[in-house]
């Protein structure tokens, strides 16, 4: 099970899998604009879409506000 905390929404999503790649995670969350997303795994910035997230990793996804 992988838990993902979404900020600034303060939501926590749970994926029932042992591993997931960042690219697949973003696809499941319908993220299109990669420039407006910051992903932290175990308190480290992840930019590689092929990075594998494992069960027990601390995952935080930050959506940057868009608008004008």
Q: How far apart are CA 51 and CA 66, in angstroms?
A: 26
For residue 41, how many C-alpha atoms fall within 13 Å in the half-sphere facing its CB? 18
What domains lie within the chain, and their CATH numbers? 2-63 (3.10.20.30)
Per-residue confidence in pLDDT tens, the chain, 68 aa: 999 999 999 999 999 999 999 999 999 998 888 888 999 999 999 999 999 999 999 999 999 876 65
Tell me the pTM. Answer: 0.87
CB atoms within 10 A of CB 32: 9
């Amino acid at each position: 099970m992988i838990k993902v905390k979404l900020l600034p929404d303060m939501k926590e999503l749970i994926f029932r899998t042992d591993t997931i790649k960042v690219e697949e995670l973003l696809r499941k969350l319908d993220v299109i604009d990669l420039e407006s997303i910051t992903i932290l795994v175990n308190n480290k910035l992840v930019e590689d879409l092929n990075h594998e997230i494992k069960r027990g990793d601390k995952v935080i996804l930050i959506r940057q506000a868009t608008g004008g």
